[in-house]
Chains A and B, each alone.
Chain A
Amino acid sequence: MSETQTVKEPTPPAKESQGSQVIREIMAGNAVISVLAVVVALVIGGILIAVTDPRVTAAAGYFFADPAATLSAIWSSVSEAYGALWRGATYDPTARTWQGQLGIFETLTFATPLILSGLAVTLAFRAGLFNIGAQGQIILGATFAGAVGFGMHLPPAIHLPAVILAGAIGGAIWGGIAGFLKARTGAHEVIVTIMLNYIAISLVLYLLKNQLKDPNSTNPISPQMDGNAVFPLLLGPNFRVHAGLIVAILAVIGVAWLLNRSTLGFEYRAIGANPKAARTAGMLVSRGYITVMLISGALAGLAGVAQIAGTEKSLDSEIAGSIGFDAITVALLGRSKPWGTFFAALLFGAFKAGGTSMAVNADVSIDIVAVVQSLIVLFIAAPPLIRSIFRIKAARREGASA
């Protein structure tokens, strides 16, 4: 996990081969495996929903007398839950208000920070680094953005850009610490970013009790963001979709360009594929680690901006929710490609929006979403397992094309 304290060689060669191998595995898988992984995960989730449903257990009591009753109970239990999930995430004709019917916009709202933080993980991953610290970077980004958003009063055209910039800087600092320590001392970024996540939580709790506290509230919560400092709503006051989504889409385009078209991105990919070769080719690997973590942290910081200036409007210790951890699964599901991450974030946003509706309408706890999401990633990360379940033969050219 951690590495020796070496003077000249921050990363021992053994670690490098492993990182590049993981990237190759993640990128080499095909779309079929991804779809099958989602299907298997949903099936297992369905089994869980069915066996914990009292109607199913009641019907199973007389299974041998009337097997059809059990099967229909299972069907209604699972179809109700997943039906509610689907309708909540897309379009629900049964909802009472017309705003409530259009769950698709809630999906987009939830997806916005996931896109940005997923990109953060994706970018670092391509340079061979595991950024487990998106959570802390989101918190720092939101804190910085909030400090500018409610602490300062600027004219309309300047305030929002200032908030966005501050959030990016906050995230970049937190990510940069991990990159700097990795480059200079060889400290493993996984450990450092995990620890920084927890330090960030303590830090924001401290600030919320002191400097950033709303003087009119007894709770550890900040004042509301300035009216000029928030993202405008894209579809009017009835929906929560905000201009952060546009920032997120621009970020996807930007990261795609950075990775595939720019010199810097080429360097990152070279470092991710084989740091030793990159070093031999004259690239500054340590500088690459620092800059990639700065950019990665800035992207996660933007996710924090999307939270505070888009949906939440004020800072509290729960500002990041579970976005930072979901970001890791989003990046893995998106196979560490910018547009893949985008669609994976849409799927997970849909799970979040639909999960709320499922909890309300089908009485199935939203925790099942976490189960399904983690199963998806496990199956995607282990293509041989999915192949053996469905008896798919491994693509012959897989090794060669990677």
Chain B
Amino acid sequence: MSVTANISPSKAVDRVAVRSWKLPILFGLLALFAVVVFVVLGPSGQATFRISQEGDAWQVPDLAVPAKVFGVVVAILCVLLAARAYQQMRNGGRIDNWVSMTFTVAFVVGLLVWIIGGTKTQNITLVGLFTGAMLITTPLVFGSLSGVLCERSGVVNIAIEGQLLAGAFTASLVSSITHNAYAGLFAAAVAGVLVSFLLAAFSIKYVVNQIIVGVVLNVLVSGLTGFLFEKIMKIKVDGATIYNQPAQLPDLPIPLLSQIPVIGPTLFRQSIIGYLMLVLVAGIWFGLFRTRWGLRIRAVGEHPKAADTVGINVNRTRFLNVLAGGAVAGVGGAYFTLVAVSSFSKDMTGGLGFIALAALIFGRWNPIGAALAALLFGVAGNLQSILSLAGTPIDGQFLAMLPYALTILAVSGFVGKSRAPAADGEPYIKG
């Protein structure tokens, strides 16, 4: 009797403490935004999505959506879902996943239709949107996977930008010299490992604060590649810059699969880096959450002392993980010079390493989540460049802010619970 009497009040207290009104409030505000913007300020035009390309296995007619009507539907859906979220939070203290997911998808699609319905051209090729987005998404995924590997083992990786840049530079240099793109790809991985080695050596061996090392490594790599770019890549032999003309990685379309509308050109008509990306996302997810190796890494990242007690070498695990992360980010860097553009230019990664960090956080330190966040950020980034040509109701710069704003919301706990591994950033000193 007394035991149950003791337990139930404390349980109630726990529930109250866990209950957070941030998400319902956010949903409410977004629903209000949807009502005001999609319905009241809704454009009267149509948003046309072109789905099929010539040469696809089967043709799908263009999808024309009247923007105003669609906006009304989305706004009503958003209001209902926000009310449902409020109700669930009041009753159970938690919101079902499907509510948050449906809300997010509905809101994003509504926003997309609203933006496109308001532009002058009013139609958009979905293939172009997604294949263009992959140019941004691919390096983002590699960068955030590097972050996953490092941070799951407890080392903060702010140096993703530097790893990408080092990979891009080295890939271009080696591929130009050897005329072999795959040699460039391998060299890029090595360059990423070298940057990682500095990160690991300073933060694990010399116990320098990991954020400081990361920040400084970014400056170091930017300065080093900039210096070598001026000194080596601008050397001209017979009027051509021979050290900055990398052989490119060829596209390797997969038969049949590459003929599927939209998905085919986006996912199955890529270079080897694109396929490597898909394999790595699945592989790292499986490794981290389904294998003994992953369990050990997560133990090191969450509670290094406990891991040490059961005989895991904490600092060795961290060192290896940081090196592996460097190799992954290096390959992502190679994408810049071996696939996306055909030569290296100074600071060409342009802050994508920090968006990768944002994708990592927004994806909750999970490989698949990070990849989806990278896809979202890639679509937003590509939409921005598509729309900068057409007059739009929303300025491209606000789309550019989206990844960063979402990340701030995520770390402040407004969008789900984005929680870092407990020992992330903590050096481990045995004894």
Contact = CB atoms under 8 A, between A and B. Distances in A.
A and B: bona fide binding partners: yes
B426 A181 contact: no
Contact of A52 (B231, B355, B361, B408): B231
Interface string B266-301: 000000000000000000000000000000000000
B411 A188 contact: yes
B413 interface: yes
B394 to A, nearest CB: 11
A371 B217 CA distance: 9
B228 interface: yes
Contacts of B212: 22, 328, 332, 377, 381
A33 to B, nearest CB: 13
A365 B404 contact: no
Contacts of A187: 408, 411-413
B33 interface: no
A192 interface: yes
Contacts of A15: 425
B426 A198 contact: no
Q: Which of B17, B20, B208, B398 neighbours the largest number of chain A CB atoms within 10 Å of its CB?
A: B208
Given A2-B411, A181-B412, A195 B405 contact: yes
A368 B223 contact: yes
A199 interface: yes
Interface stretch (B56-64, B89-97, B415-423): B415-423
A185 B151 contact: no
Nearest to B221: A374
Given A188-B411, A329-B219, 4 more contacts: A2-B361, A25-B209, A365-B226, A367-B224
Contacts of B231: 52, 365
Contacts, number: 158
A23 B231 CA distance: 38
Interface of B: 17, 20, 22, 151, 156, 158, 198, 202, 206, 208-209, 211-213, 215-217, 219-220, 222-224, 226-232, 351, 354-355, 357-358, 361, 395, 397-398, 400-401, 404-405, 407-408, 410-413, 417-420, 422-427
Interface in A134-163: none
Contact of A181 (B227, B361, B408): B408
B398 A202 contact: yes
A198 B351 contact: yes
A283 interface: no
Interface stretch (A3-11, A222-230, A233-241, A391-399): A3-11
Interface string A1-37: 1111101000000110010001001000000000000
A165 interface: no
A202 B217 CA distance: 25
Interface residues of A, number: 54
A192 B358 CA distance: 10
Interface in A350-395: 365, 367-371, 373-375, 377-378, 381-382, 384-385
Chief secondary structure at chain A's binding surface: helix
A382 B156 CA distance: 17
A283 to B, nearest CB: 23
Contacts of B427: 18
Contacts of A132: 211, 215
A367 B206 contact: no
A31 to B, nearest CB: 19
B227 A48 contact: yes
A375 B361 CA distance: 29
Contact of B398 (A7, A52, A206, A369): A206
Contact of A1 (B22, B151, B354, B398): B151
A191 B420 CA distance: 12
Of all A-B residue pairs in the complex, the 6 with the closest CB atoms, nearest first, are A370-B223, A5-B413, A367-B226, A195-B404, A365-B230, A374-B220
Nearest to B202: A382
B17 A365 contact: no
